[in-house]
Amino acid sequence: MKTRRRKSHFNVAVIGAGAIGADHLASFGLHPAAKVVAVADISSKRGREAAERFGIPEVVQDYRLLLGRDDIDVISIALPNYLHAKVTLEALRAGKHVMLDKPMATNARDAAKLVAEARARGALFMVGQNFRFNAETQTARQIVGRGSLGDVYHAKTSWSRRSGIPRIGSWFTQRRFSGGGCTYDIGVHALDRCLYLLGEFEAAAVSGQTFAKFGPRGKGNGGWGKSEIDPKAPFDVDDLSVALIKLRSGRTVILEAAWASHGPANDANATQLFGTEAGLSLPPVQLFRQTRTGYCTEAVDPLPPLVNPNRMVHFIDCLLGKAKPFVKPTESLAVQKILDAIYVSAATGREVRIK
């Protein structure tokens, strides 16, 4: 691994000025040691609008123009999923540090290449799993770390919407651009948070099933995303998925993701851990215990965060040597392998063993 001279200021370029690109642009601006100097988007209109809104001095349509520039240290990627691995690899090879929005890639083979490239180059590379950074997750992690739950042997984690397909006909709902539907899009958050809380990422076996019951009928549309709609594009991704994941230790996780469903809440995520001494759920963080006289539910007050709750601010803190990367590339690779296995299991009808 290469070692790099530590700097005290970092110039950032954001690639992709769509819905979440705005969060990248705003967030880096919160760190006094970072400046967003350029934004790239194939849509010159979206690029220009973002530059005006966030006061970014330069806009380009071709992101490759930014990779060769010596004055840019960090590339932050907010692109459709099919470009994640390609652009990350190019940026790492150009000597940049990379913040990549989720999911890591559209298959684990590509994801593994990113892990290897970042390691070989001594670059900071992080998948921006923002659920991990929020106050509830950080509080829950500390409660689990104290051993309050005893031996945690099972977990359930989900993100379910009633009508939240990112606009039907956009890249999100076309497999060739997204790689997959709700499993990659929101299942990734629920799974990553759960495995982070368990402190275990490697799975041994996965059984999954996927459904597309709303999107193909033009139902369940949500409002997310800025990219163009192709009304003729097929809806060929999942809008609900479920999986049973057996971790290497023998512990189990049930994952459920739904962009659209006849569920009880419009948009809800929840993670529950089951331990020998107590159970925990979030959000909000609550503990459940059986006592001699019955059951008790305990609300948990927020604990001081382990890292800055803003993932971009944290990324810059890591470059400054003030923090250790909170999301490790190997963890994101393990998550990717599980998500891929859900699709393989759904397609084959079999349990998939993960090496």
Ligand X SMILES: NC(=O)c1ccc[n+]([C@@H]2O[C@H](COP(=O)([O-])OP(=O)(O)OC[C@H]3O[C@@H](n4cnc5c(N)ncnc54)[C@H](O)[C@@H]3O)[C@@H](O)[C@H]2O)c1
Beta bridge partners of 256: 158, 242
**Min dist. Cβ of residue 295 to ligand X (A):** 34
Contact 240, 257 (CB under 8 A): yes
Q: Site residues for ligand X, window 211-230 (CB under 6 A)?
A: 224-227
Instruction: Determine the interface stretch with ligand X among 36-44, 89-97, 231-239, 253-261 (rule: CB under 6 A).
Output: 36-44
Choice between 83 and 333, CB closer to ligand X: 83
Sequence-distant (6+) residues with CB within 8 A of 42 are: 61
Q: In angstroms, rounded to a whole number, what is the distance separating the alpha carbons of residues 18 and 227?
A: 7
40 binds ligand X (CB under 6 A): yes
168 binds ligand X (CB under 6 A): no
20 binds ligand X (CB under 6 A): yes
Instruction: Determine the interface stretch with ligand X among 17-25, 113-121, 136-144, 328-336 (rule: CB under 6 A).
Output: 17-25
**Min dist. Cβ of residue 5 to ligand X (A):** 30
10: amino acid identity, one letter: F
17 binds ligand X (CB under 6 A): yes
> Can you tell me which of 34, 39, 67, 78 binds ligand X, judged by CB under 6 A?
78
Q: Rounded to whole angstroms, what are the CA distances from 219 to 19, 185, 213, 353?
A: 22, 18, 9, 34
Query: Residue 38 burial by CB count (10 A; 0-12/13-18/19+): exposed, middle or buried?
Result: buried
16 binds ligand X (CB under 6 A): yes
Contact 176, 237 (CB under 8 A): no
Choice between 43 and 209, CB closer to ligand X: 43
Among candidate residues 2, 96, 102, 219, the one labeled active-site is 102
Choice between 267 and 351, CB closer to ligand X: 267
Q: Site residues for ligand X, window 261-290 (CB under 6 A)?
A: none
175 binds ligand X (CB under 6 A): no
- R_g of the chain computed on alpha carbons: 20
Q: Is 219 one of the annotated active-site residues of the chain? A: no
Q: In angstroms, rounded to a whole number, what is the distance separating the alpha carbons of residues 57 and 51?
A: 7
**Min dist. Cβ of residue 78 to ligand X (A):** 5
Q: In angstroms, rounded to a whole number, what is the distance separating the alpha carbons of residues 12 and 54?
A: 13
Q: Kindly give the pairing relationship between strand 352-353 and strand 203-211.
A: antiparallel
> Can you tell me which of 25, 36, 67, 79 binds ligand X, judged by CB under 6 A?
79
> Can you tell me which of 72, 76, 128, 155 binds ligand X, judged by CB under 6 A?
128
180 binds ligand X (CB under 6 A): no
Handedness of CA 188, 193, 198, 199 (dihedral sign): positive
**Min dist. Cβ of residue 178 to ligand X (A):** 8
Instruction: Determine the interface stretch with ligand X among 78-86, 142-150, 233-241, 269-277 (rule: CB under 6 A).
Output: 78-86
18 binds ligand X (CB under 6 A): yes
Q: In angstroms, rounded to a whole number, what is the distance separating the alpha carbons of residues 325 and 196?
A: 13
Distance from the Cα of residue 17 to its chain's centroid: 18
Choice between 143 and 327, CB closer to ligand X: 327
Q: In angstroms, rounded to a whole number, what is the distance separating the alpha carbons of residues 84 and 186?
A: 16
181 binds ligand X (CB under 6 A): no
Sequence-distant (6+) residues with CB within 8 A of 261 are: 160, 161, 162, 214, 220, 239, 240
> Catalytic site residues?
102
Q: Footprint of ligand X on this chain (CB under 6 A)?
A: 15-21, 40-43, 46, 63, 78-81, 83, 101-102, 128, 130, 185, 224-227
